């Protein structure tokens, strides 16, 4: 379901008219909400994911909620697996052919699950690193090559975690991969900044989504709880708060911000780290139950994949 209205956003109507944004993993969770904010503000938005039905349904849901006659832009869903460089090139060609260069990219697609590091198989490590670390790099590079060749300005925003600063026990492949993207952000902010391509990142604290909760808090119920006494501000993030920050970084209004990773976590990472340190108390039984709960979430999603 669509989540936002113009009233949730800090920006004037029509701010993003003429902007063209790709959001990887934009069919669900935070990616979908960022897509919605851009769409409400008039942008043309492309969202991708492996489950073709999910991205198409999301594009339709958002377009129905924010049609062009009410000032909305357009939203297009594309089935693409960003682990496959050839599939990325094909998707980016399709996007460019549909209306010209993108003006912004959000590296949002990710995979994650909690696991004791000693239990990870090579395929388990790769399942995460190939999406987050390699996939996000190749999408950025594929867009970057075209922007540089055409002399276009653009903004890239990568969705990281606060683990890039203090590590992520029990989520080591994710923490390592996100840390790699943090360094990509800093490196390309310099290498491509002089040619008009900015790189920034957002490090969210907990924003309840179905995808994250199934894999990080298995068996803990729905993704709807708001209060969390372990966070200095006492609650999880709200979708509109993240969407506003993403729009700010994508828009030329933030043209002098480059190479930054901004935490949006209620101050959580400053209070003893925001990771899964508490899982040190778990024994074999808890880990077996968590693994089986995560794997049934994976199976349910995999059955819907069309690529
Ligand atoms: C140990 C596990 C495991 C688990 C999977 N594996 N789950 N190992 N513990 N809980 C292992 C499998 O056994 C297998 O290795 C390998 O990983 C690949 O598993 P598949 O199910 O075949 O993988 P695949 O279909 O490619 O799915 C990728 C995925 C899945 C990453 C495992 O979770 C996924 O599609 N996720 C996308 C959505 C997602 O994760 N969203 C959450 C983002 S939240 P073997 O050797 O057995 O074959 C996020 C939040 C961070 O990042 C911050 C919060 C504060
Ligand atoms: P989510 O709903 O599970 O989003 C992940 C998205 O990535 C899904 O739409 C998934 O779609 C897509 N994806 C995964 N592998 C892909 C691939 N190979 N190719 C293309 N798309 C792929 O979870 P979320 O909570 O919204 O997470 C979004 C981002 O926020 C992630 O980067 C996550 O690390 C970050 N984050 C989230 C939180 C939080 O509390 N929610 C906190 C910190 C950071 P398919 O399965 O259809 O491919």
- Mean pLDDT per block of 10 residues along the chain (307 residues) reads 95 98 98 98 98 98 96 96 98 98 98 98 98 98 98 98 96 98 98 98 96 86 77 95 98 98 96 77 93 94 94
C-alpha span between 29 and 205 (Å, rounded): 14
Domain 13-304 in CATH 3.30.70.920: no
C-alpha angle 70-208-240 in degrees, rounded to nearest 5? 30
**Whole-Å CA distances, 186 to 100, 134, 156, 180:** 27, 17, 12, 10
- Which pLDDT value is given to residue 219? 76
* Lining residues, ligand 1, CB within 6 Å: 110-113, 115, 119, 121, 123-124, 127-128, 161, 174, 206, 211-212, 215-216, 291, 294-295, 298, 301-302
Predicted local confidence at residue 222, as pLDDT:
63
Q: Are 79 and 53 in contact (CB under 8 A)?
A: no
Distance between CA atoms of residues 117 and 151, nearest Å: 44
Q: How far is the CA of 108 from the centre of ligand 2 (A)?
A: 6
Q: Which two structure tokens, joined as six digits, stand for 33?
A: 């909400």
- Spatial separation of the C-alpha atoms in residues 108 and 25, rounded to whole Å: 6
Burial class from Cβ neighbours inside 10 Å (0-12, 13-18, 19+) for residue 274 reads buried
According to DSSP, residue 20 is labeled E
Per-residue CA distances from 286 to 169, 223, 290 (Å): 16, 20, 6
Residue minimizing CA distance to atom 54 of ligand 1: 206
Among candidates 10, 4, 11, 64, which has minimal Cα distance to 35? 4
Q: DSSP 3-state assignment of 77?
A: strand
Write down the pLDDT at residue 27: 98
* C-alpha–C-alpha distance, residues 262 and 202, integer Å: 5
Cβ(7)–Cβ(40) under 8 Å?
Answer: no
Q: Where are the extended beta strands (E) located within the chain?
A: 20-24, 44-49, 74-79, 104-107, 154-159, 197-204, 261-264
pLDDT at 218: 83
Geometric angle at alpha carbon 158, from 41 and 170, rounded to 5°:
130
Answering whether pTM is above 0.85, one says: yes
Closest ligand to the CA of 237:
2
Distance (angstroms) between ligand 1 centre and the Cα of 258 equals: 32
Q: How far is CA 254 from CA 55, 68, 154, in A?
A: 29, 26, 12
**Considering all CA atoms of the chain, what is the largest pairwise distance in Å, rounded to the nearest integer?**
56
Indicate the domain borders of the chain.
13-304
Closest residue to atom 9 of ligand 2, CA basis: 25
Q: What is the pLDDT of residue 276?
A: 81
* Distance of alpha carbon 160 from alpha carbon 162, whole angstroms: 7
Tokens 């966070």, located at residue: 231
Query: What pLDDT, on the 0 to 100 scale, is given for residue 244?
Result: 98
Contact status, residue 164 vs residue 123, Cβ threshold 8 Å: no
Locus of tokens 């996007």: 95
């Amino acid at each position: 379901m669509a989540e936002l209205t113009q009233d949730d956003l800090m920006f004037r109507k029509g701010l993003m008219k003429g902007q063209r944004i790709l959001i990887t993993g934009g069919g669900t969770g935070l990616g979908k909400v960022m897509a919605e904010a851009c769409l409400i503000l008039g942008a043309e938005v492309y969202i991708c994911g492996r489950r073709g039905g999910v991205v198409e349904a999301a594009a339709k849901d958002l377009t129905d909620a924010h049609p062009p006659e009410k000032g909305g832009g357009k939203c297009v869903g594309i089935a693409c697996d960003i682990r496959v460089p050839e599939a990325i090139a094909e998707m980016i060609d399709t996007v460019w052919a549909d209306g010209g260069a993108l003006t912004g990219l959000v590296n949002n697609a990710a995979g994650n699950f909690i696991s004791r590091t000693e239990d990870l198989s090579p395929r388990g490590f790769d399942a995460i690193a190939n999406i987050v670390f390699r996939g996000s790099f190749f999408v950025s590079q594929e867009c970057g090559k075209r922007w540089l060749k055409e002399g276009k300005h653009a903004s890239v925003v990568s969705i990281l975690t606060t683990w890039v600063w203090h590590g992520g026990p029990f989520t080591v492949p994710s923490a390592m991969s996100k840390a790699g993207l943090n360094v990509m952000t800093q490196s390309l902010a310099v290498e491509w900044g002089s040619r008009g391509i900015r790189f920034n990142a957002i490090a969210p604290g907990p924003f309840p989504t179905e995808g994250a909760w199934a894999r990080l808090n298995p068996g803990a119920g729905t993704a709807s709880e708001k209060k969390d006494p372990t966070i200095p501000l006492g609650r999880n993030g709200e979708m509109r708060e993240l969407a506003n920050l993403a729009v700010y970084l994508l828009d030329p209004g933030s043209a002098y911000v480059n190479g930054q990773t901004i935490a949006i976590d209620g101050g959580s990472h400053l209070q003893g780290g925001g990771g899964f340190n508490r899982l040190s108390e778990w024994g074999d039984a808890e880990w077996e139950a968590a693994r089986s709960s995560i794997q049934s979430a994976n199976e349910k999603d995999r059955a819907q994949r069309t690529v």
